[in-house]
């Protein structure tokens, strides 16, 4: 008599071609930005080389990000915590759509921190800080 084995438990996890999976708990490839008290994970998608990406961003509790803008359109969805953006509070479920080059901020992160998913449209990526002093 042979013993049955749980082959699902023994088989290595496979990712189907053309798909990418991640979780909040997967911290292997998060980029730390200590001066802004945040960390992020960038996930490219779309046509090869078009720079479209989803960015998971975790802000530390009570942190602040100065006024800035991005060179491409983007959409931001709050999934944990809260953030005040240009004096307006955004909590879980809040969605902001921002046109390229629009300056906004500062971002003031709530006491429990904040996690957002930012979806950047195809185009140049980056961030430009604006000195408002």
Residue owning tokens 């292997």: 28
DSSP 3-state assignment of 125? coil
Sign of CA dihedral 24, 27, 28, 32: positive
pTM of the model: 0.78
Q: How does pLDDT run across 30-68, given as a tens digit for each residue?
A: 999 999 999 999 888 777 777 788 899 999 999 999 999
The domain segmentation of the chain, as residue ranges, is: 40-129
Query: The tokens of 30 are what?
Result: 């998060």
pLDDT in tens, the chain (133 residues): 444 444 445 555 666 777 767 776 776 789 999 999 999 998 887 777 777 888 999 999 999 999 999 999 999 999 999 999 999 999 999 999 999 999 999 999 999 999 999 999 877 777 777 765 4
Distance (Å, whole) CA 21 – CA 24: 11
- What CATH superfamily is the domain 40-129? Jelly Rolls (2.60.120.10)
Sign of CA dihedral 91, 92, 95, 100: positive
- C-beta of residue 122 within 8 angstroms of C-beta of residue 72: yes
């Amino acid at each position: 008599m042979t013993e049955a084995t749980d082959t699902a438990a023994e088989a290595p996890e496979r990712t189907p071609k053309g798909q990418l999976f991640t979780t909040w708990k997967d911290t292997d490839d998060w980029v730390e930005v200590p001066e802004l008290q945040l960390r992020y994970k960038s996930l490219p998608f779309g046509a090869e080389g078009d720079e479209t990406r989803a960015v998971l961003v975790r802000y530390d509790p009570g942190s602040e990000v100065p006024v800035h803008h991005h060179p491409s359109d983007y959409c931001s969805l709050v999934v944990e915590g809260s953030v005040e953006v240009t004096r307006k509070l955004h909590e879980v479920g809040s969605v902001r759509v921002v046109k390229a080059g629009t300056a906004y901020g500062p971002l003031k992160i709530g006491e429990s921190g904040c996690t957002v998913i930012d979806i950047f449209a195809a185009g140049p990526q980056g961030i430009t800080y604006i000195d408002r002093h």
